[in-house]
Chain A
Amino acid sequence: MIAEILTPIVILILSVVLFGQTTQYNYLSAVFPRFVLGLLVILSVILLIRALVLFKKRGPSAARSISLKDFFYIFLVAILSFLWVYMMDWVLGFLLGSIVFGIVIFAILAGRSLKVKHFVLYSLGYCAIVFIFWYALGRLLHVPLPRGLFF
């Protein structure tokens, strides 16, 4: 419920800040963003009023939230994904980077629910997919894939 109230406030503040930025632009560049931001301000005010009315009527409700454990997994995968792109571009290259980070994420998400035999089998399947794309794009279609220090 708090999120329902905070969301329109954040949109409202952002809209006002961006509206302020449009004063630096000429008329033809600013007219459309101002039109959109004006609408956003009006709609976020309506959303805020509606959320406040609902809050008064029902009181704080138990929203369906993400558990701390799941949040940790999402955070970890997000960080690993950004690291994947960075390492792929600068160090590991497309093929190696994708294999290493893909399998690391798979291992983290699978946890202990998979037998080692299945884990190896699935990982090999994943490697095959990566290899096919690497070969098709990099070798057959000559797409300049990130090379890093390796390939």
Chain B
Amino acid sequence: MSSLQYLAYGFAHLFVVKTLLLMLGGVCVGLVIGALPGLSATMGVALFLPITYWLSASDSLVFLGSLYMAAIYGGSFSAILLRTPGTPSNIGTTFDGYPMSKQGRGWEAILTATFSSLYGGLFGLFMFLIFAPMLARVALKFGPPEYFWLGIFGLTVISSLSRGNTLKGFIGGLIGVLLSTIGVAPVGGNVRFTFNIPELIGGVGLIPALVGLFCIPQVIEMILNRSKQQLYQEAKVQKGLLWKTFVNVMKRQIDLLRASVIGFIIGVLPGAGGNIANLVAYSEAVRASKHPEKFGTGIPEGVIATEASNNAVVGGGFVPLMTLGVPGTPVDAILYGALLMQGLRPGAELFTTRADVVYTFVAGVILATFIMVPVGLAFGRGMAKLITKIPLSLLAPTIIFLTMIGSYCVSNNISDVYMMLMLGLLGFLLRKLGFEAGPITLGLILGPIIESGLVQGLLIGKKYPQPWLIFITRPLCWVFILLSVFFLLWPVIMKKRMVIPGGDQK
């Protein structure tokens, strides 16, 4: 079957009451999580991942994909109305979205964010449909040395794109890789770093680690901010503005396209997510504008840039996840866990062995992108107002409860809950010391890929005078080596290019 036929199959598979309800549920949950400041899309997907264990592979992925896309969009509501980005992907939306609200143009800002998100989301997913099968065909030629360098490349990118400190990003990634070595060695068979704790023989569970590292530090932040109140900016619905804003947004094809391309490319890069894409797209919009001084005062171009780019990241991130088994964004790291939980191995073979699941998933997210528009416009403002009334002191135990379910339900093992709590506390401590959860979790995922590549490569390399020569004598290896070197220099390039309101460079 061709890609288009698979996609048609995917769409046909969606029109079942259960799947449609799951999609709607995913969109609603995603909007709430996205709109709640402090709860990121990553955390939302991590919290609901284990609950999807009992669903079929495609239903589970459709639910999580819908939640992901809607959470990124939902974050714009609190960014526009509360000046608090709902997710890190909406930081840039506050720059112009909130000033628009203050000027009484909140509804226009919401509509602009909605149509830009729709455009960016669809752009990213269609680009996925074009590029993913091509990359999957190339990835089928990979052997262990290529996978070794692919893992190293992923580690280089996640570290160099980590916020603030490149060196700490690297170390964080390596800590994650080291965590992945706990337990039985995949090739040598020795039991490593367990310190005679039997629960560690099976290794660090990916799902408890993801839930703990992403959710528990956030709960602790809530404890620290428990007495803070949000300031809500009212956005009244204005008749006739819907069509007018739609036309205005669609007129700015260059802005939409630029932001969506940036979002897609940043999504494809392992480890980089919407948090980086929205700021890069914003700074590029400022750079390309004839009136850069107007950015930050409440102009739709700023909202278009950030919202189109952060939703385009979704499709971009699926490319390396589905074709190489390397997560494009932190949320994709969780989706990686979802695929494993369903017995699917992310990577090139997924396209050949379970293309039906892949295309149903993408078709589901495309449909969810359309569904989130009416749902968001109908309930988004109300939700943003409502969430200002939920005290953080209640949210904290509720999230602890959800993290406990999340880590327990994967293998019905209470020691996973203890592991999750301990890793969560470690995650908070590391975050305070400047080591973000993103590189650590991605290191945890990339670790086994790099280890298998290294050890199997060394075994195959015995035919060379020196076994390690196999890692530098294959052309595809050099592609990844050069890419790794390029991304080691990336922070320097970024530092020179990023512009945010206020005239400062960041």
Contact = CB atoms under 8 A, between A and B. Distances in A.
Interface of A: 3, 7, 11, 18, 21-22, 24-33, 35-37, 39-40, 43-44, 46-47, 50, 66, 70, 73-74, 77-78, 81-82, 84-85, 88-89, 98, 101-103, 105-106, 109-111, 113-114, 122, 125-126, 129-130, 133, 137, 141, 143-146
B178 A43 contact: no
B178 A40 contact: yes
28 contacts: A21-B193, A27-B188, A32-B181, A35-B454, A36-B177, A40-B175, A43-B170, A43-B174, A73-B226, A77-B219, A77-B400, A78-B425, A81-B421, A85-B414, A102-B397, A102-B401, A106-B396, A109-B226, A110-B393, A114-B393, A122-B394, A126-B394, A126-B397, A133-B405, A137-B51, A137-B405, A143-B54, A146-B414
A25 B178 contact: no
Given A98-B401, A143-B412, A146-B414, A30 B394 contact: no
B223 A36 contact: no
B505 interface: no
A36 B393 contact: no
A19 to B, nearest CB: 11
Interface in B407-438: 408-409, 412, 414, 417-418, 421, 425, 432-433
Main secondary structure of the interface of A (DSSP, over half): helix
B188 A30 contact: yes
B227 interface: yes
B404 A84 contact: yes
Main secondary structure of the interface of B (DSSP, over half): helix
Contacts of A27: 188
Interface of B: 51, 54, 167-168, 170-171, 174-175, 177-178, 181, 185, 187-190, 192-193, 219-220, 223-224, 226-227, 391-394, 396-398, 400-401, 404-405, 408-409, 412, 414, 417-418, 421, 425, 432-433, 447, 450-451, 454-455, 458-459
Contact of B421 (A11, A82, A133): A82
Contacts of B401: 98, 102, 129-130, 133
Given A109-B393, A126-B398, A32 B451 contact: yes
A111 B223 CA distance: 12
Contacts of A24: 190
Contact of A106 (B393, B417, B418): B393
B193 A122 contact: no
A147 to B, nearest CB: 11
A73 B222 CA distance: 11
Most chain A CB inside 10 Å of its own CB: which residue of B189, B400, B459? B400
B396 A109 contact: yes
B455 A28 contact: yes
Given A31-B458, A32-B455, A77 B396 contact: yes
Contact of B224 (A22, A26, A66): A66
A18 B193 contact: yes
Given A74-B220, A105-B396, A109-B223, A29 B190 contact: yes
